[in-house]
């Protein structure tokens, strides 16, 4: 009976070190947790353009060692202590320790990032000035 109590106490301690957020601001709507236990359950199609994508010893998430994706229809990612699965607009991931499942970028996020870049006209001018000053410094050497 004591091992059961120990496991329950350990789960409560681990859950106390986890932050859970429910929001949709600048992200696909859903639930996200971070801390000792990382995970997400989100809704929204990803912006994946490749018809078939397979990665070994790599993936979108830190700690992933395999990922297979079929366009926007299906995605599976495996880590040492967790996994992420996406079917259509639903994506779910759970990981402990070294594997931290990341939410795939969605069309909504991509559109928001594009709007943010083009809203500030000074950004392009500042970038051009920085490039000019760097090239002048190189020419002087």
pLDDT in tens, 54-111: 999 888 888 899 999 998 899 999 998 899 999 988 999 999 888 888 888 876 555 5
Residues 14 and 55 in one domain: yes
Residue 65: give the domain boundaries.
2-105
Q: What total of structural domains would you count in the chain?
A: 2
pLDDT higher than 60, residue 121: no
The confidence score (pLDDT) of residue 76 equals 94
Could you tell me the two tokens for 33? 């947790």
> 29 and 85: one domain?
yes
Where is pLDDT greater, at 129 or 119?
129
Whether residue 91 is found in the same domain as residue 49: yes
Sorting pLDDT into bands at 50, 70 and 90, what band is 118? very low
CB 99 within 8 A of CB 63: yes
Supply φ then ψ for residue 137, to 5 degrees: -65, -35
């Amino acid at each position: 009976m004591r091992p059961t109590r120990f496991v329950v106490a350990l789960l409560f301690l681990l859950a106390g070190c986890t932050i859970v957020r429910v929001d949709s601001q600048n992200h696909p709507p859903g639930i996200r947790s971070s801390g000792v236990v990382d995970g997400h359950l989100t809704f929204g199609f990803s912006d994946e353009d490749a018809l078939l994508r397979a990665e070994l010893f790599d993936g979108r998430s830190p700690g992933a060692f395999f990922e297979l994706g079929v366009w926007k229809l299906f995605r599976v990612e495996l880590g040492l202590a967790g996994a992420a699965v996406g079917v259509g607009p639903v994506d779910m991931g759970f990981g402990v320790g070294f594997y931290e499942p990341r939410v795939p970028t969605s069309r909504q996020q991509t559109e928001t990032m594009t709007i943010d870049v083009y809203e500030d006209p000074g950004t392009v001018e500042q970038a051009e000035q920085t490039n000019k000053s760097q090239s002048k410094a190189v020419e002087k050497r």
